[in-house]
Amino acid sequence: MHDLNTLWTIQYDGTEYNGWQRQPVQKGVKTIEGTLEEVLSIITQRKVEMIGQGRTDAGVHALGQTAHCAIERGTNLGQLMYSANQMLPDDIRVVSVQEVDPDTHARFDATTRTYEYHITTQPHVLKQRFAMFAPWLDDDSIDRLKNMAVAIQGVDDFAKFAKMDEDTGTRCAIVKAEWIWSNPDLVFRVEANRFLRHMVRRLVGTMIDFASMEEGDRLFECFLDPSKATAKERSSIQKNATTAEAKGLVLTHVKYIAIKNPHRKDS
């Protein structure tokens, strides 16, 4: 009898972890995926391999990471989730487990991913693990950031924000991007079909650089497309993207067109 294919939704504080993806056995290297697999293997008394919808880097957090894995048929999934949460460290939590069709794939069936990057303009002890501190941002710079969010929605090739070893192409389709200001906090929210490694952090870091400049939103557009720049503007445009620190980034949601559950009549 075939195993159940199950889809998991997981939250985590990534501060103490070397990212999502399991690493070769190495003393002192902890990952979210590796920790989950170890706990589930203990509970089920068999090797469990999770396949995530994508990676998050060291220090990045998640409220809606998804992954699928095979579980022995007949397993009570509610009890399994409860047992996993009893054994997992406090900075990882499973929020849902559901049976899905055998061919459902957490990565390939995902249609969009949404990230948020959190910034605070005032010191706050409870935010220092989860937000960039940027006290220099003012109303003018925030207005420029909002204009820059509009500008990136017209871009489909993000090579400027890619790592040199990017091997999956650099085209991404941004569905929505916005900066949300609620004094003293600022959030960049972006949804796309896919993201390059470090892409959101590089978008944020680069936009923050330009936000402090007079006409920084215009210069950012020239950074995206140098053909739009005058000779004077070219001299003011930085050559490379800046990467914002990891701690402000949160994977909030992964969207699927439909997750098929073989026990639901409408699947």
- Looking at residue 237, its pLDDT comes to 82
Identify whether 258 is part of a domain: no
User: What's the CATH code of the domain at 15?
Assistant: 3.30.70.580
Span 181-229, pLDDT tens digits: 999 999 999 999 999 999 999 999 999 999 999 999 999 999 999 888 8
Query: How far is 173 from 195, CA to CA, in rounded Å?
Result: 9
- Looking at residue 167, its pLDDT comes to 67
Cβ pair 119, 187 in contact under 8 A: yes
One digit per residue, the tens of pLDDT, for the chain of length 267 reads 689 999 999 999 999 999 999 887 666 789 999 999 999 999 999 999 999 999 999 999 999 999 999 999 999 999 999 999 999 999 999 999 999 999 999 999 999 999 999 999 999 999 999 999 999 999 999 999 999 999 999 999 999 998 766 667 899 999 999 999 999 999 999 999 999 999 999 999 999 999 999 999 999 999 999 888 888 788 778 788 999 999 999 999 999 986 655 544 443
φ, ψ dihedrals at 168, nearest 5°:
-115, 20
Identify whether 21 is part of a domain: yes
Query: How far is 156 from 162, CA to CA, in rounded Å?
Result: 13
Identify whether 164 is part of a domain: yes
Identify whether 86 is part of a domain: yes
Looking at the structure, tell me whether residues 96 and 13 fall in a common domain. Answer: yes
Strand blocks (E) in 28-60: 51-52
Q: Whole-model pTM above 0.85? A: yes
Our CA angle for 246, 254, 21, nearest 5°, is: 50
- Looking at residue 27, its pLDDT comes to 64
Domain C-terminal end among 108, 128, 153: 108
User: Which of the following is catalytic: 57, 91, 143, 185?
Assistant: 57
Looking at the structure, tell me whether residues 100 and 180 fall in a common domain. Answer: no
Query: How far is 186 from 133, CA to CA, in rounded Å?
Result: 10
Query: What total of structural domains would you count in the chain?
Result: 2
Looking at the structure, tell me whether residues 131 and 245 fall in a common domain. Answer: yes
Looking at the structure, tell me whether residues 76 and 192 fall in a common domain. Answer: no
- Looking at residue 115, its pLDDT comes to 98
Domain C-terminal end among 65, 84, 108: 108
Query: Which is it for strands 110-120 and 132-133: parallel, antiparallel or unpaired?
Result: parallel
The token duo for 150 is 């509009």
- Looking at residue 19, its pLDDT comes to 95
Q: What is the DSSP letter of 159?
A: G
Looking at the structure, tell me whether residues 141 and 239 fall in a common domain. Answer: yes
Identify whether 60 is part of a domain: yes
Identify whether 267 is part of a domain: no
Which residue(s) pair with 182 in the sheet? Answer: 185
Whole-number Cα distances in Å, 252 to 66, 112, 224: 10, 11, 26
Looking at the structure, tell me whether residues 160 and 103 fall in a common domain. Answer: no
Q: Which range marks the domain in which residue 198 is found?
A: 111-251
Looking at the structure, tell me whether residues 89 and 138 fall in a common domain. Answer: no
Find the distance separating the first CA and the last CA of the chain, reported in whole Å.
Answer: 22
Identify whether 131 is part of a domain: yes
Looking at the structure, tell me whether residues 60 and 118 fall in a common domain. Answer: no
Nearest to 162 by CA among 216, 253, 228, 243: 243
Looking at the structure, tell me whether residues 126 and 247 fall in a common domain. Answer: yes
Looking at the structure, tell me whether residues 163 and 242 fall in a common domain. Answer: yes
Looking at the structure, tell me whether residues 224 and 243 fall in a common domain. Answer: yes
Domain C-terminal end among 76, 108, 140: 108
Amino acid at 189: R
User: Could you confirm whether 57 is annotated as catalytic?
Assistant: yes
Cβ pair 264, 99 in contact under 8 A: no
